[in-house]
Structure 1
Amino acid sequence: MKLPPIGQLGPFIALVIACAFFATQSDRFLTGANLSLILQQVMVVGVIAIGQTLIVLTAGIDLSCGMVMALGSIVMTKLAVEMGLPAPLAILCGVGVTALFGLVNGLLVTRVKLPPFIVTLGTLNIAFAITQLYSNAQTVTDVPPLMTWLGNTFSIGGTEVGFGAVLMVLLYLGTWFWLRETAAGRHVYMVGNNPEATRLVGIPTDRVLLGVYVLAGVFYGLASLLSVARTGVGDPNAGQTENLDAITAVVLGGTSLFGGRGVILGTLIGAIVVGVLRNGLTLMGVASVYQVLITGILVIAAVAVDQLSRKGAR
């Protein structure tokens, strides 16, 4: 049986090493309760990172993802709490708003031909402003039980597992299958590898790109619901670091920032690696500023490895 390339095994190796190290530093690390907690802590960023991965695979980037997620959570909670909309309809509206932002990003990238970095930097600020104005910078409380249901847990062998974490894993598996087994999924890789050659063989590259941005917006909406489920409120101040955390998960997961190369399941491992690092360092009593420092070093190292591997492949 042929083993995957070392670039794809890298995130898994990093996860194993991190877990082994922290297991020697704290008796609590490898307990079922702590491992379940890690999954619950990364589920919001993990789902955002699915959308981010799809965009990065096309050689783009989305800086607005965290604030768009926050806006989605405010929309769905305010519609349910203050407007009295049924929770399912309010959730759909919230996801619709995040998908709309994805559509706007996609149209500006494909039709106006603006760089994704500039487009999403602009929509980040727009989403932040709308979130603050619409919420009056106030947290939305007393949300319906249906919106917090994914924050509940069920027991497996005495360990409490979150429904939201299960949903995250299922979303990754579904996206992995779509990218690997369908023509539409393979087109995403082709656009990232060589958009001009892809266009010349008859694949509508702009349509693929637009679809990717809209789909990413849908994932941000699902992350909005998970954020509400985890915290029990609609928080207008959420999402301010999630964009960088999502990019970190994508990069650590082995997806190339230059597009066309990466495995979506690697992003899941990358998100878990970040969660493991922060959890393990917290158990060791390390200050949070050092956690940020180590994460930054890892990101630079991962991008450097990607760049060197690209040069070596030429």
Structure 2
Amino acid sequence: MKDKLPPLGQLGPFIALLMACAIFGSTTERFLSGDNFSLILQQVMVVGVIAIGQTLIILTAGIDLSCGMVMALGSIVMTKVAADFGLPPFLAVLVGVAVTTLFALLNGLLVTRLKLPPFIVTLGVFNIAFAITQLYSGAQTVTEVPASMTWLGSTFAIGGTNIAYGTVLMVLLYLCVWFWLRETASGRHVYAVGNNPEATRLVGIPPERVILGVYALSGVFYGIASLLAVARTGVGDPNAGQTEALDAITAVVLGGTSLFGGRGVVLGSLIGAVVVGVLRNGLTLMGVSSVYQMLITGILVILAVAVDQLSRKGGR
């Protein structure tokens, strides 16, 4: 029976989510309502989609500190080209996704071709993306957004609970990536590169190509997250994206993906994002200051990394 159960690293995030829901459900009456859970999912859908790309990169033993700022740049580009040039919303979104993909591809090229550390590369690209976002937008919020670009922020009712279309899109993306990583050869190559890039090379799989593809794919998810950010707020905000990278990394780590690469389940990142959303929502309903919310989140991240490190040592 023990062999059939998932590893504790995969069960941990789900157990933490259940415990958080039980605690907040017993302390605040509003927490367990359907509308509140729908609100939590709407609040985490941007970070949740960014976390998909971050998970893929971390599975290859990399990291991306620029993801939030690249997402913000994508949202500014797609809203400004639609507002300033009258570009059809669909084409404007494609331009925004293309920009985020190019920036993520730049990260991948610097990591694979010049062999630069991902931490330094993505930190530098974070600052570049921030500067371009501020310069291109004039540090002004873009408010003239076509209605079709905010459609994913609208809701439909199921059993009296309003659910955002963006939330459904986020879940579908997670299921597609989970299937790809689990059932396809290219998906398994991502795990192989994270586990042992040299052994992967010896069997004929070029690690650099896999890593470059992962960075480029992550850029597509950042672009989708840009659209979700616009849909949720109704504007293109040049000041967005400054904390999303840390939030996405937090979701990935809490979801059980190893920062050392090669281990993790992408669905765990979704649970990790929801755990963070539940904590913030529950503590807000209890009237707890946001400072303590950050404190608790930080403690959880350190505990998750410590458990990962101990499990790796125990497996040797």
Under TM normalisation by the shorter chain, which class is it?
A: over 0.9
Deviation of 1:272 after TM superposition, in Å, equals 0.1
Deviation of 1:20 after TM superposition, in Å, equals 0.2
Residue from 7, 25, 35 that aligns with 2:9: 7
Structure 1: gaps (5+ residues)? none
Q: Which residue of 2 aligns with 1:35?
A: 37
Q: Deviations over 1:177-233 (max 9, x none)?
A: 000000000000000000000001000111100000000000000000000000000
The one-letter code sitting in structure 2 at the alignment partner of 1:22 is F
Are 2:110 and 1:100 aligned? Answer: no
Q: Deviations over 1:265-314 (max 9, x none)?
A: 00000000000000000000000010001000000000000000000000
Q: Distance in 2 between matches of 1:189 and 1:264?
A: 12
Q: Distance in 1 between matches of 2:93 and 2:279?
A: 32
Residue from 55, 73, 93 that aligns with 2:75: 73
List, as ranges, runs of 4+ consecutive aligned residues in structure 1 with deviation greater than 6 Å.
none
Q: Which residue of 2 aligns with 1:216?
A: 218
Q: Distance in 2 between matches of 1:311 and 1:21?
A: 32
Deviation of 1:25 after TM superposition, in Å, equals 0.7
TM-score norm. by structure 1 comes to 1.00
Q: Distance in 2 between matches of 1:253 and 1:226?
A: 22
Tell me the SS of whatever aligns to 2:85. Answer: coil
Deviation of 1:6 after TM superposition, in Å, equals 1.2
Residue from 186, 194, 197 that aligns with 2:196: 194
Q: Which residue of 2 aligns with 1:248?
A: 250
Deviation of 1:66 after TM superposition, in Å, equals 0.3
The one-letter code sitting in structure 2 at the alignment partner of 1:249 is A
Q: Which residue of 2 aligns with 1:88?
A: 90
Are 2:161 and 1:123 aligned? Answer: no
Q: Distance in 2 between matches of 1:183 and 1:102?
A: 23
Deviation of 1:106 after TM superposition, in Å, equals 0.4
Tell me the SS of whatever aligns to 2:6. Answer: coil
TM-score norm. by structure 2 comes to 0.99
Tell me the SS of whatever aligns to 1:82. Answer: helix
Q: Distance in 2 between matches of 1:73 and 1:105?
A: 19
Deviation of 1:107 after TM superposition, in Å, equals 0.4
Q: Distance in 2 between matches of 1:299 and 1:77?
A: 34
Q: Which residue of 2 aligns with 1:45?
A: 47
RMSD (Å), alpha carbons: 0.5
The one-letter code sitting in structure 1 at the alignment partner of 2:252 is V
Structure 2: gaps (5+ residues)? none
Residue from 274, 277, 284 that aligns with 1:275: 277
Q: Distance in 1 between matches of 2:31 and 2:58?
A: 32
Are 2:115 and 1:113 aligned? Answer: yes
**Aligned residues: percent identity?**
82
